[in-house]
């Protein structure tokens, strides 16, 4: 047992966290590694086992691997679908959703192993450090959270490679990406490198799960997503579990060149950053889900929900997944989804994805009420009275304003015209009678 006790490291197998594994040992900890499968490219059993073996070969006293692909979709992505979760109305939160799922397991492993702390390899400039720290603390406030990358001196890739070589950490230079990538089944985030200049167009090689819209097939494709109680359950009538459905949609939608996002994003730590994302399945699901909600939910619920969706997205982005406000918002969203059952047709063509149809058993769209054709059941005669009453406060307010303006002699030509000539003469100001008679002949 080392002097400082055990620490559970969120381990990816990459260079950063491999250096960290050694560094924590140098600092006097016994390191327990933990890697999670969330649908990133190396999610298969054999990949994950190889990564755990690497951790052990670098001195980890225990190596955990957790396959949380389904759990990630059912407990985290599902809530994002209810919430149509998009930070700054653009980014479907792929990294922000994965951290609370990973933290849940880091904390479980820490408790099982009697560890004193959890460690992550995040830099001091990003959002992920905030998420790891706040979310682990929210789950177990007694654990320490270590983020040594913020203070160690391995700030450049070459210093890291030197450290790795000196400590027997295998360095695979061919795997070095010019970007910082985070990936799971909900999408792929690409940052750093040439993207740091916001004027630079993202190079073709930055993208991986979407084809270039210019190279997308000439034939369009329709895809029908079926929903039950707010969650997608089928593609073109074929039922599948959420993980498989998102993965399949990534393939279908991405192959038609839809799903790329290129944005300037406001990080919680206060800086703006240029981020590219590929989220073909996520964007298509949210687009279809919103359409179905519009069909199935009353307008006032939709309008309040829209405001709360922004709040939910900020909470999740800011590392507050395990917070009372976010839980309360989830409860609100869940209560809105019971009738959101039906189908939405999307049309995919060379980089575009558009809704072309929707239907639902509990649709609130009523043909008789909406039609301008035969079969109209809407009582048009009631419209006049409706407007008299709906506009009543505004009318009274306008009348009072006019009275005040009359009293102050502030009437202009347009208002006088609106009042009618007779009224204007009665108002008796010089300007009013001059302009009033001038407009009287019109
Ligand atoms: N900016 C995004 C977010 O904060 C993506 C972060 C991706 N993380 C990474 N290590 N590349 O959610």
* 3: confidence class by pLDDT, cuts 50, 70, 90: confident
Mean pLDDT (the chain) is 92
For 220-244, how does the pLDDT look when each residue is reduced to its tens digit (9 = 90+)?
Answer: 999 999 999 999 999 999 999 999 9
Q: Does ligand 1 lie within 6 Å of residue 127's CB atom?
A: yes
Tokens describing residue 414: 């347009």
Q: Is 245 helix (H, G, I), strand (E, B) or coil?
A: helix
> Which of these, 249, 236, 431, 221, lies nearest to 347 by C-alpha position?
221
Asked if residues 415 and 402 have their Cβ atoms less than 8 Å apart, the reply is yes
**pLDDT surpassing 50 at residue 334:** yes
Name which residue sits closest to atom 4 of ligand 1, judged by CA.
127
CA of 133 to the centre of ligand 1 (A): 15
For a ligand 1 pocket test, name from 128, 130, 196 the mutation site with the most ligand atoms within 8 angstroms of its C-beta. 128
Q: Does ligand 1 lie within 6 Å of residue 86's CB atom?
A: no
For 27-65, how does the pLDDT look when each residue is reduced to its tens digit (9 = 90+)?
Answer: 999 999 999 999 999 888 889 999 999 999 999 999 999
Residue 143 backbone dihedrals phi, psi, to 5 degrees: -80, 145
**pLDDT surpassing 90 at residue 123:** no
Q: What is the pLDDT of residue 436?
A: 40
Query: Start-end ranges of CATH 3.40.50.620 in the chain?
Result: 6-178
Angle in degrees, 0-180, between the axes of helices 280-296 and 242-254, rounded to the nearest 10: 110
Q: Quick count: other Cβ atoms within 10 Å of Cβ 146? A: 22
Beta pairing class for 352-359 and 231-235:
unpaired
* 256: confidence class by pLDDT, cuts 50, 70, 90: very high
Dihedral, CA of residue 217, residue 219, residue 220 and residue 224, to nearest 10: -100
DSSP summary character for residue 197: S
Four-residue CA torsion sign, 189, 193, 199, 203: negative
Task: Name, in order, each residue with C-beta under 8 angstroms of 166's C-beta and a sequence gap of 6 or more.
Answer: none
Q: Domain 183-368 maps to which CATH number in 3.90.1260.10, 3.40.50.10780, 1.20.1530.20, 3.90.1300.10?
A: 3.90.1260.10
Query: Start-end ranges of CATH 3.90.1260.10 in the chain?
Result: 183-368
Name which residue sits closest to atom 6 of ligand 1, judged by CA.
95
Q: Which are the catalytic amino acids?
A: 16, 99, 128, 180
What architecture is domain 6-178? 3-Layer(aba) Sandwich (3.40)
Q: Does ligand 1 lie within 6 Å of residue 84's CB atom?
A: no
For 158-212, how does the pLDDT look when each residue is reduced to its tens digit (9 = 90+)?
Answer: 888 888 888 988 877 656 788 999 999 999 999 999 999 999 999 999 999 999 9
Q: What is the pLDDT of residue 33?
A: 98
Q: Does ligand 1 lie within 6 Å of residue 128's CB atom?
A: yes
- Look up tokens 């009033």; give the residue: 436
Name which residue sits closest to atom 8 of ligand 1, judged by CA.
182
Q: Does ligand 1 lie within 6 Å of residue 180's CB atom?
A: yes
DSSP summary character for residue 218: S
């Amino acid at each position: 047992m080392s002097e400082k006790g055990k620490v559970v490291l969120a381990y990816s197998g990459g260079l950063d966290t491999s250096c960290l594994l050694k560094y924590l040992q140098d600092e006097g900890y016994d390191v327990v590694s933990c890697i999670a499968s969330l649908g990133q490219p190396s999610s298969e059993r054999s990949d994950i086992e190889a990564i755990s073996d690497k951790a052990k070969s670098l001195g980890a006293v225990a190596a955990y691997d957790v396959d949380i692909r389904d759990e990630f979709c059912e407990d985290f992505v599902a809530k994002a679908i209810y919430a149509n979760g998009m930070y700054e109305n653009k980014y479907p939160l792929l990294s922000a959703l994965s951290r609370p799922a990973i933290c849940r397991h880091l904390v479980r492993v820490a408790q099982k192993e009697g560890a004193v702390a959890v460690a992550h390899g995040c830099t001091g400039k990003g959002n992920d450090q905030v998420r790891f720290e706040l979310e682990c603390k929210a789950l177990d406030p007694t654990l320490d959270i270590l983020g040594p990358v913020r203070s160690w001196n391995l700030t450049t890739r070459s210093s890291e490679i030197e450290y790795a070589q000196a400590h027997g950490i295998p360095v695979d230079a061919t795997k070095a990406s010019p970007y910082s990538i985070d990936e799971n089944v909900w999408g792929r985030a690409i940052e750093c490198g040439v993207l740091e200049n916001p004027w630079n167009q993202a190079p073709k090689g930055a993208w991986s799960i979407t084809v270039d819209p210019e190279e997308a097939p000439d034939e369009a494709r329709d895809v029908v997503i079926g929903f039950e109680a707010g969650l997608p359950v089928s593609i073109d009538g074929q039922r599948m579990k959420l993980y498989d459905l998102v993965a399949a949609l990534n393939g279908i939608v991405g192959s038609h060149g839809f799903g790329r996002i290129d944005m300037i994003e406001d990080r919680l730590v206060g800086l703006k950053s240029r981020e590219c994302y590929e989220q073909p399945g996520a964007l298509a699901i949210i687009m279809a889900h919103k359409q179905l909600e519009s069909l199935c939910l009353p307008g006032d619920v939709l309008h309040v929900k829209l405001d709360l969706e922004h709040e939910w997205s900020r909470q999740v982005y800011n590392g507050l997944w395990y917070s009372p406000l976010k839980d309360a918002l989830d409860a609100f969203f869940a209560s809105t989804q019971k009738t959101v059952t039906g189908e939405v047709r999307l049309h995919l063509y060379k980089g575009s994805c558009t809704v072309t149809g929707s239907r639902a058993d509990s649709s609130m769209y009523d043909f008789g009420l909406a039609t301008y054709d035969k079969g109209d059941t809407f009582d048009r005669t009631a419209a006049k009275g409706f407007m008299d009453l709906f506009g009543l406060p505004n009318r009274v307010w306008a009348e009072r304003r006019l009275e005040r303006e009359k009293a102050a002699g502030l009437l202009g030509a347009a208002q006088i015209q609106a009042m009618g000539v007779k009224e204007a003469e009665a108002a008796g100001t010089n300007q009013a009678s001059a302009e009033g008679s001038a407009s009287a002949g019109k």
